[in-house]
């Protein structure tokens, strides 16, 4: 299976979106960005997945797809998704959390180093 990154985002920035884009750019990773403030189906998906309109929500999808290739680990009702590795999904991650998740999925390797 060829994997791709999909980032559910919004057109107005926030610190977590800035961090995610910086990490992806620092590692020269391509990704497909979907804006939840322009795509109501994407907005609904993020709300179902996270319980909130939490962005960025990054997923690992099969090439050409926009849904996780495996269902993410569920969250307890009302629990914040912030920084939690849910397998094929991570939401509002800090630099270290996001890089560890990218390593786990083979997008980068530990030899690439962890930014600080």
CB-based contacts of 34-38 (< 8 A; 24+ apart in sequence): 34/6, 34/7, 34/8, 34/9, 34/66, 35/9, 35/10, 35/11, 36/8, 36/9, 36/10, 37/10, 37/11, 37/12, 38/11
Mean pLDDT of 25-32: 97
Model confidence band, residue 112 (pLDDT cutoffs 50, 70, 90): low
Mean pLDDT of 14-21: 97
Model confidence band, residue 98 (pLDDT cutoffs 50, 70, 90): very high
CA distance 49 to 43: 10
pTM: 0.93
Question: What mean pLDDT, rounded, does the chain reach?
Answer: 94
Mean pLDDT of 94-108: 97
User: What pLDDT is stored for residue 5 in this prediction?
Assistant: 98
- Residue ranges of domains in the chain: 3-112
CA distance 41 to 51: 15
DSSP 74: P
Phi, psi at 82, each rounded to 5°: -55, 115
- CATH number for domain 3-112, candidates 3.30.1490.190, 3.30.750.24, 3.40.30.10, 3.40.50.280: 3.40.30.10
User: What pLDDT is stored for residue 115 in this prediction?
Assistant: 45
């Amino acid at each position: 299976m060829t994997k791709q990154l999909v980032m559910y985002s919004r057109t107005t920035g926030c610190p977590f979106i800035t961090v995610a884009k910086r990490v992806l750019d620092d590692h020269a990773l391509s990704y497909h960005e979907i804006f939840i403030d322009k795509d109501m189906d994407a907005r609904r998906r993020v709300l179902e997945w996270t319980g909130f309109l939490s962005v960025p929500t990054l997923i690992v999808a099969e090439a050409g797809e926009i849904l996780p290739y495996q269902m993410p680990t569920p969250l307890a009702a009302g629990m914040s998704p912030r920084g939690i590795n849910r397998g094929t999904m991570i939401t509002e991650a800090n630099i270290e959390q996001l890089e560890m998740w990218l390593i786990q999925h083979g997008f980068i390797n530990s030899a690439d180093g962890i930014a600080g």
